[in-house]
Amino acid sequence: MAEERGGSGAQGPRSGDDAETYRRNPLKGLAGLPLIGDLLEPFLGHYPGKDLPAFFSAPHFRGRWEELGPGSYERGGPVRSVLVPSRRGRPGKGPRPRWVVTLYTGPGGTGTSMRFEEGDDASELDESFAVRVASVRVERFLGTGA
């Protein structure tokens, strides 16, 4: 993570090494599944991808990970999987913001792009694309939630 643009007021990104995370609590591997994650949430505490989109250096949500809030980021290193938080809608509360993550092969949001929204499976990105990711944009938009 070299530079952040936008996302004013957002907390700093979290990062970690999944080997240590999953060694301490193997149930965290299930936390990315929406229903199981919701059921286990009181017992798990924080896990990658719970509140902010998480980017992993290995397929299937493994390897070093990093969470990013809304904004545009320049980055170095591969992005092999992306976990986008998914929250169920609350009846009677109106529309809720939804996460959108876009990966770019060029700096400043240029080049080839790949977009992910809540519910998209981004567990194994093609390695030829993953190693070329140079910038990331994380956004929230007002959607109608399912």
**What pLDDT, on a 0 to 100 scale, did the predictor assign at position 94?**
66
Least confident of 8-22, 70-84, 95-109: 8-22
Is 40's pLDDT higher than 90?
no
Split into its structural domains, the chain has a count of 1
**pTM of this prediction?**
0.68
* 73 in Cβ contact with 112 (< 8 Å): no
Instruction: State phi, psi for 18 to the nearest 5 degrees.
Output: -65, -25
> What's the one-letter identity of residue 19?
A
* 97 in Cβ contact with 70 (< 8 Å): no
**CA gap 145, 97 in Å, rounded:** 8
Domain that holds residue 19: 3-143
Q: Residue with structure tokens 């980055």?
A: 75
pLDDT tier at 9 (50, 70, 90 boundaries)? Answer: very low
Q: CATH number of the domain that 62 lies in? A: 2.60.20.10
